[in-house]
Amino acid sequence: MRDVNIVFGINAGKIWRTLDSIGPLTKIQLMDRIELEENELFRAIGWLARENKINKEGEFYKLDDTNLSDMIEKNAEVLYRIFKNGKLDVNNLEKITKLDEETYNLSLGWLAREDRLENDILI
């Protein structure tokens, strides 16, 4: 398994470079241009939000101070407390946390950027 920090960081870099060169894009436009799955995209956006580099206005993501921190940080702490109890199947996170898929993936990216995800935490 590749280091989650490396994978999430690489994908965050792809988003940053794309938005830097093209400007604001929607989720679908980003996924098409970068060829990421939705969960990979949201994890990378969570990473960029932790770095205070991405902003969402309506359906569009752009490079700017983030407006996503409050929501993501709170939910990242929920996930982190759950992870401290052992390994989790990522496919069950929505049921366990009561967070939607977008929210928990944003939170995973946030935690990865803080280096608080272990490689084997998700099975």
pLDDT (tens digit per residue) in 77-120: 988 888 777 656 666 666 777 888 899 899 999 999 998 887 55
Q: For residues 90 and 97, give the distance between their C-alpha atoms in angstroms, rounded to a whole number.
A: 11
* C-beta contacts of 24-28 below 8 A and 24+ residues apart: 24/57, 24/60, 24/61, 24/62, 25/60, 25/61, 25/62, 26/59, 26/60, 26/61, 27/59, 27/61
Query: pTM of the prediction?
Result: 0.88
Nearest to 109, CA basis, from 1, 10, 2:
10
pLDDT digits (tens, 9 = 90+) for 23-82: 999 999 999 999 999 999 999 999 999 999 999 999 999 999 999 999 899 999 988 888
Contact 63, 97 (CB under 8 A): no
